[in-house]
Amino acid sequence: MTRTSLTQLEARDAFIARHIGPDAAEQAAMLSTLGYASRAALIDALVPANIRNQGALPLGQYSQPMPEQEALAKLKAIASQNKVLKSLIGQGYYNTHTPGVILRNIFENPAWYTAYTPYQPEISQGRLEAILNFQQVITDLTGMGISNASMLDEGTAAAEAMTLIQRVGKSKSQVFYVADDVLPQTREVVQTRAEPLGIEVRTFAPAELAELHDCFGVLLQYPGVNGVVRDYKGGVAAVKAKGAMVVVAADLLALTMLTPPGEWGADVVVGNSQRFGVPLGFGGPHAGYLSTRDEFKRSMSGRLVGVTIDAQGNKAYRLALQTREQHIRREKATSNICTAQVLLAVIASMYAVYHGPAGLKQIAQRVHRYTGILAANLAALGYEISNASYFDTLTVKTDNAEALLATAVAHGVNLRKVDAHHVGVSLDETTSRDDLELLWTIFAHGVKGAAKADFDLVEAGVQLAFPAALERSSAYLSHPVFNRYHSETEMLRYLRSLADKDLALDRTMIPLGSCTMKLNATSEMIPVTWPEFSNIHPFAPDAQTVGYREMIVQLEDMLCALTGYAAVSLQPNAGSQGEYAGLLVIKAYHESRGEGHRNICLIPSSAHGTNPASANMVGMQVVVTACDARGNVDLADLKAKAELHSKNLACVMVTYPSTHGVFEEGIQELCAIIHGHGGQVYIDGANMNALVGVAAPGSFGGDVSHLNLHKTFCIPHGGGGPGVGPIGVGAHLAKFLPNQRSSGYQRDVAGIGAVSAAPYGSASILPISWMYIAMMGAEGLTAATETAILAANYIARRLSPHYPVLYSGHDGLVAHECILDLRPLTDATGISNEDVAKRLMDFGFHAPTMSFPVPGTLMIEPTESESKAEIDRFIDAMVAIRMEIAKVENGEFDREDNPLKHAPHTAEVLTADKWERKYSREVAAFPLPSLRKQKYWPSVGRADNVYGDRNLMCGCAPMSDYE
Ligand SMILES: *Cc1c(COP(=O)(O)O)cnc(C)c1O
């Protein structure tokens, strides 16, 4: 081999070695602990031979790993085919300035984007505060009582609102009315959601609101898609008097000037916070929102941050009312939402913190004034404006909409095509005087004798262009947090102070079972903020999105190659949404064969809560099947239930390898049983990190799978979102994949309707997974899987003398995660898995997954990205904790007053003058010598869950707290 080719080879492999934590020597040491000569030998012993991939991954041009710089250059070339025009299309998506301090210190800061969902409140106070701020922004602006911590987008938020009011309302009707000026994509998502639930969606003209009857709910858009701002007060009262409930989709910026729906009778308000500083990104990710009246809080879908107290009685934030969630309620949950849009909600909330109420109002007023200038100038040009009232959107009459749109594009502007004779133009925060001039030029094109008016004179005469009764009089965002961080220095320090409270991947491994907290490499993240990706409107003309669509097709092909499926849809915004979409696809398939009656969904008891919750959403009936003592699906029980329900069997939902961390030997037999009864096999692909390159669900019997790109394919968790949950399907199901007909996106006439508001879901984060796959190549991806499995087995083996490993397969091996059974120790000592989780914080670690899938246990998944040193540090901590438990066992530690029960320990507690505990401060703070060099101090003590739910408080602290 020549010198140059060797260097090239090193460059090609360089990223693989950056992504995979343990080097060759460390892997050899880990393998020798397990008694295997090589990774390959370990995999051979573990993964059933009959499901193994034959041959290399068919990744085509991406088979070879690409060096980081080369992959960036390649993606840049693809991105450059996108054309960034000024999109004034509106329809729910607007240009916005992400404040630089937020862009750099949140969006591009791993302390925020690599954090996990804040299930462990004590190490998550920073992001919990930020999300609480988001809830306050939404509650205030909409005028409602309570808001959740983000929805996946506006369309799904409206769909969730529809099912919410059906749950809590008294009406027996199955009719839901959607106003004809609701965003078309919202209508489509609502329609898709309604169908399997037997809800009939009807359209009505807003003027007829008061006349509606015999319906359980109504959806209004405020302002309407064509710009009209209507006074709905009388109509809402009339329709509510007839027993219906009212959902309003509202624009947050407009609400700074308009009377909020909460003040004119809305029961639920939904929308999108995108225009609060989150780039367009070709449709996402953005944080949707849902707020409602206080009395419906227990029925509300999605996550909710609440205030509670810690063990010392100090204020602490935490996720509240988790009892509503799919983790606990399963098919009876209020929704299937798991991963949401936390990072984007944080950005939107910080946009409000940064601008404050006065700043937001100023932005809104300028947008409104400029719209007025534009309206006056268009009128002077002889155009008729269809909407007499408006906030930021004008619908303009024209002889030839196509010609006008083409003129606009020639001037670098996208307008919205309403119909053959109307175009829409929506202004936003970024609109400047120059843009108004440009718009004048576009509209003046071909108008004889056009003479431009003096903009200043026009501006002086601009009036509010909506009914006076709708001018907002109530205050909002009066809490101190929205009024004290307006200098950049203060803002920077506020963001830093919050980030410092949290443990994210930039400080420690996060060994969360099933959630695959692996490296989110910087080179994967960089393309996300390229303007070619971030400044594209989801409904921009195809000619401007060539690069995006090429990247998307390539990623779909890559995922097909890795999963063995024939086709992939990237539309679902999270794993849960993938499950929902996949089940709809299965339903459509059965219906196409005249077997629409098949509605039984078999789900093993070990399944993730989203599985039954999703089945419920598509109107399927869940039948739970048993697991045996080794954690495997009980095939006999499954077989019996499949036989019992043979005629009506729709599908099975299984996770592979199982959430018990085992490669079940009988998976092919399981698939055959289901297929034998005419059912389809849904394989939950959340554990794909144990399969890539080793086995492919589409090849060993699956018909549909979702993947979690925010687990296996390196999209960061963002503190609980964004996510992407694409589905892969076999060839026979490809034509049923989701469309988005309202935006002209149709894969196949047979396809199901939209499951997300944008055709490609969270398109702007897809480059992350593209980069990962391109940089790893076939060899790197397979090595990652093997190393992830190696690391999990190394931990299991090293910890098994101290804690029993609950389930294992052949030769005592586990898959990519392992479950430690704390229950015998809990019985003997009273020390619970929660105590261990909290004590790990004193050691500077994020806890593993607690009590899923088995109550009383901890589930550990190290991933391939953690070095042996970090894994050993974690093992040392777990062993040290086991020694502490032993001291409780042998009486050296008190059963109640010990460092485990009191964990985590704050600096405040440890430095107090009074210390009356039965163990020393040193034991509490520095249980291992290494902690003296680097110590994380949790900002609160153990959060009181019961207190928080009993005294539910889901908004910012009142003024008095600051005095
Ligand atoms: C994470 C996970 C899901 C849900 O995915 P989200 O992206 O959080 O909606 C479903 N099943 C399993 C096994 C998971 O681990």
Number of domains making up the chain:
2
pLDDT score at 144 = 98
Residue minimizing CA distance to atom 2 of ligand 1: 686
> What are the helix and strand counts (H, E) for the chain?
30, 24
The verdict on the CB of residue 156 being under 6 Å from ligand 1 is no
**Residue 102, in any domain of the structure:** no
Residue minimizing CA distance to atom 7 of ligand 1: 575
CATH number for the domain spanning 870: value is 3.90.1150
Residue that finishes a domain, picked among 352, 370, 394? 352
CATH number for the domain spanning 212: value is 3.40.640.10
The verdict on the CB of residue 372 being under 6 Å from ligand 1 is no
pLDDT score at 147 = 97
Instruction: Choose the residue to mutate in 684, 687, 850, 852 for probing ligand 1, maximizing ligand atoms within 8 Å of C-beta.
Output: 684
Residues 6 or more apart whose Cβ sits within 8 Å of residue 913: none
The verdict on the CB of residue 608 being under 6 Å from ligand 1 is yes
Amino acid at 476: Y
pLDDT score at 431 = 98
**Residue 184, in any domain of the structure:** yes
The verdict on the CB of residue 581 being under 6 Å from ligand 1 is no
pLDDT score at 11 = 66
**Residue 491, in any domain of the structure:** no
pLDDT score at 452 = 83
The verdict on the CB of residue 723 being under 6 Å from ligand 1 is yes
**Residue 587, in any domain of the structure:** no
The verdict on the CB of residue 901 being under 6 Å from ligand 1 is no
- Let me know if 313 is exposed, middle or buried by CB neighbors in 10 A (0-12, 13-18, 19+): exposed
State the distance from the centre of ligand 1 to the C-alpha of 412, rounded, in angstroms: 41
Residue that finishes a domain, picked among 318, 352, 386? 352
912: containing domain: 822-945
pLDDT score at 327 = 76
Please tell me what DSSP assigns to residue 526. G
State the distance from the centre of ligand 1 to the C-alpha of 608, rounded, in angstroms: 7
Per the listing, tokens 């990710």 go with 285
pLDDT score at 322 = 82
Per the listing, tokens 């007499």 go with 388
State the distance from the centre of ligand 1 to the C-alpha of 521, rounded, in angstroms: 22
The verdict on the CB of residue 576 being under 6 Å from ligand 1 is yes
Vertex 211: Cα angle to 207 and 213 (nearest 5) = 130
The pTM assigned to this predicted structure is 0.97
Vertex 121: Cα angle to 117 and 126 (nearest 5) = 80
How far, rounded to the nearest angstrom, does the alpha carbon of residue 602 sit from its chain's CA centroid? 26
State the distance from the centre of ligand 1 to the C-alpha of 769, rounded, in angstroms: 17
| Strand duo 600-604 + 621-625: pairing | parallel
**Residue 908, in any domain of the structure:** yes
Output the six-digit token pair for 282: 């070709």
pLDDT score at 1 = 38
pLDDT score at 9 = 58
Residue burial 239-264, b: 16+ Cβ < 10 Å; e: rest? beeebbbbbbbbbbbbbbbbbbbbbb
**Residue 221, in any domain of the structure:** yes
Instruction: Choose the residue to mutate in 341, 608, 688, 727 for probing ligand 1, maximizing ligand atoms within 8 Å of C-beta.
Output: 608
**Residue 208, in any domain of the structure:** yes
State the distance from the centre of ligand 1 to the C-alpha of 240, rounded, in angstroms: 38
Neighbours of 912 (CB within 10 A): 12
State the distance from the centre of ligand 1 to the C-alpha of 734, rounded, in angstroms: 23
**Residue 663, in any domain of the structure:** no
Residue minimizing CA distance to atom 8 of ligand 1: 339
CA distance 81 to 62: 20
- Let me know if 820 is exposed, middle or buried by CB neighbors in 10 A (0-12, 13-18, 19+): buried
Low-confidence ranges of the chain (pLDDT < 70): 1-12, 959-960, 962-963
Output the six-digit token pair for 764: 């702007």
